[in-house]
Amino acid sequence: MVNQDITITSYEVRDIRFPTSKHLDGSDAMNKDPDYSAAYVIFYTDSDIEGHGMTFTCGRGTEVCCSAIEALSVKFVNKKLSELTVDMRATHQICTGDSQLRWIGPEKGAIHLATGAVINAIWDLWAKAEKKPVWKLVADMTPEQFVQSIDFRYITDAITPEEALEILRENAPTKAIREAEMRAKGYPAYTTSAGWLGYSDDKVRRLCREAKEQGFTHFKQKVGSDKASDIRRAALIRSEIGYDSVLMMDANQVWDVKEAIDWMEDLLPYKPLFIEEPTSPDDVLGHATIRKALYPRTRVATGEHIQNRVIFKQLFQANAIDFCQIDSCRVGGVNEILAILLMAKKFNIPVCPHAGGVGLCEYVQHLSLIDYICVSASTEGRVLEYVDHLHEHFLEPVVMNNGRYVAPLASGYSIQMKRESIEDYTFPTGKVHRDA
Ligand SMILES: C[C@H](O)[C@@H](O)[C@@H](O)[C@H](O)C(=O)O
Ligand SMILES: [Mg+2]
């Protein structure tokens, strides 16, 4: 493969922060004032192709992820791209299997967020070398190549490589039909940006109206800070979107298990499709208890803080969730996502990725296309999150049309930021921070 005859020569890591807390964009009951940020990495090569990747953070702490990215990136210098892509499972394990770094995980927290950035940058590099978007690179893989990129350690009690192959082989003959459909129609989305907790009622009302006009039929509301205000806000949103549209609710981990059930009882009249992150992301059995108490009056969703495939496995095994919200860089990048998509398919749980923040929409559009074309072969009950912030900083920002993501066609993982944005928002030396 001539395309891949390139070698990584160096890397650059940047701490990039956007002052979104100024207008409370992205605010919720737990994250009251996020500054949407990226721990960002660029792999340079001996050609003009660069691999870009990032992991999403909320401001303070981005420097910790940058340090972890440095620790991992150095391991890729002098590697040939072909040497990395020939065995993507082994490439993933360069990050997750380091015999010393592993101690500060394993496969969780800042070091795993860093793995997400680094592995995603390698996929970006590979896809650019092959002149394909990442989703198409994966959609063109044989079932064997797809499975070869996954680390099945710790999940074979839920799905074996053979079972994974069976799923992919069954879908392979019809992949082209679904690909054509996605190119023509795009992937259905829902919006969160109308319902941030820190927005005034008037602003929420206006944003709901605008989103409806743009074709959205699914809306997410932030809850969990003050029950009376949640009830008032739910009534307000319902009055704007009606009961033909779908309302979701997101508590961002604020409640204890019993508190979650009691609080939601009072919000059920507004018919939320699901309650997202009702409690700690590590509490598998707590999610199962909440689900048992509320199902089917509402359902349970989680994923943006689920640290790895093992916890997703347990959530599936324990019947703890109804919607699986993979996060493109919370877990260790594309490889681990593929494992989670396959498990979700086996347990018949729809995948509705977490997006928003900065860069997450750009990433996850690829993942939902992979899910539909190769794995789930269904869009039923599936919507991909959309948040209308910071897209202007990307070279190839997401494109929405009538409440759907338009399939991205540019090479790579759509995550490359404009050089000017990288410079201006680098913390603390960039122009935006110096002038603040
Ligand atoms: C801090 C962030 O904006 C979160 O509120 C956001 O990721 C949210 O949970 C979501 O589901 O989009
Ligand atoms: Mg959320």
List Cα–Cα distances, 288 to 263, 276, 315, in angstroms: 16, 13, 8
10 forms beta bridges with 44
C-alpha angle 322/265/292, rounded to 5°?
40
> Residue with the nearest Cα to atom 11 of ligand 1?
354
CA 58 / ligand 1 centre spacing (Å): 10
> Which pLDDT belongs to residue 4?
76
Protein residue whose Cα sits closest to atom 4 of ligand 1: 26
Ligand 1 site, residue 25, Cβ cutoff 6 A: no
Query: Which amino acid residue places its CA nearest to atom 6 of ligand 1?
Result: 26
Q: Among residues 92, 108, 222, 389, which one is catalytic?
A: 222
In the reported structure, the alpha carbon of residue 88 is separated from the centroid of ligand 1 by a whole-number distance in angstroms of 30
Ligand closest to the CA atom of residue 26: 1
**Protein residue closest via CA to atom 9 of ligand 1:** 252
Centre of ligand 1 to C-alpha 115, Å, is 21
354 is catalytic: yes
Cα of 45 to ligand 2 centre, how many Å?
Answer: 36
* pLDDT attached to residue 435: 86
In one-letter notation, the amino acid at residue 339 is A
At 282, list the tokens.
């590590």
Per-residue pLDDT, 1: 47
- pLDDT attached to residue 112: 98
Residue found by looking up tokens 């992301």 in the block? 281
Going from the N-terminus, what domains does the chain have, and what CATH number goes with each? 2-166 (3.30.390.10), 167-420 (3.20.20.120)
426 burial via Cβ count (<10 Å: 0-12, 13-18, 19+) = middle
For ligand 1, is residue 303 a contact (CB within 6 Å)?
no
Q: Is the CB of 179 under 6 A from ligand 1?
A: no
State the CB neighbour count (10 A cutoff) for residue 348.
9
pLDDT digits (tens, 9 = 90+) for 187-221: 999 999 998 999 999 999 999 999 999 999 999 99
pLDDT tens digits along 15-26: 999 999 999 999
Q: What is the pLDDT of residue 371?
A: 98
Contact 35 CB / ligand 1 (< 6 Å): no
Question: Which residues are CB-contacts of 352 (< 8 A; sequence separation ≥ 6)?
Answer: 190, 301, 323, 324, 325, 381, 382, 383, 384, 385
Eight-class DSSP state of 221: E
For residue 97, how many C-alpha atoms fall within 13 Å in the half-sphere facing its CB?
Answer: 8
Q: How far is the CA of 28 from the centre of ligand 1 (A)?
A: 7
Distance from residue 403's CA to the centre of ligand 1 (Å):
19
Does the Cβ of 31 fall within 6 Å of ligand 1? yes
Q: Give, using CA atoms, the residue closest to atom 2 of ligand 1.
A: 26
Alpha helices in 88-200 (DSSP H): 88-96, 109-129, 134-139, 143-148, 161-171, 175-185
Please say whether the beta carbons of 356 and 26 come within 8 A.
yes
224 lines ligand 1 (CB under 6 A): no
Nearest bound ligand to the CA of residue 355: 1
* Residue 354 near ligand 1, beta carbon < 6 Å: yes
In this structure, which residue's CA is closest to atom 12 in ligand 1?
A: 356
Nearest alpha-carbon partner for 335 in 112, 167, 110, 62: 112
* Residue labelled with tokens 């095994």: 317
Interface predicted TM-score of the whole assembly (ipTM), two decimals: 0.98
Site to probe by mutation for ligand 1, drawn from 21, 55, 250 as the one with most ligand atoms within 8 Å of Cβ, is 250
In this predicted structure, what is the pLDDT of residue 84? 98
Ligand 1 within 6 A of CB of 30: no
Half-sphere exposure of residue 363, counting CA atoms within 13 Å on the CB side? 30
Q: Is the CB of 252 under 6 A from ligand 1?
A: yes
pLDDT, the chain, mean? 97
Instruction: Indicate which ligand has the atom closest to the C-alpha of 59.
Output: 1
Residues of the chain with pLDDT under 50: 1-2
One DSSP character per residue, 358-402 reads TTHHHHHHHHHHHIIIII----TT--EEE--SSGGGBSS---EET
Q: Specify whether 305 is catalytic.
A: no
Phi-psi region of 309 (alpha: psi -120 to 50; beta: other; left: phi over 0): alpha
Residues with beta carbon < 5 A to ion ligand 2? 250
- Residues in Cβ contact with 13 at an 8 Å cutoff, skipping those fewer than 6 apart: 39, 40, 41, 66, 69, 70, 73
For residue 195, what pLDDT is reported?
85
112, 354, 366, 389: the active-site residue: 354
Does the beta carbon of 353 lie inside 6 Å of ligand 1?
Answer: no
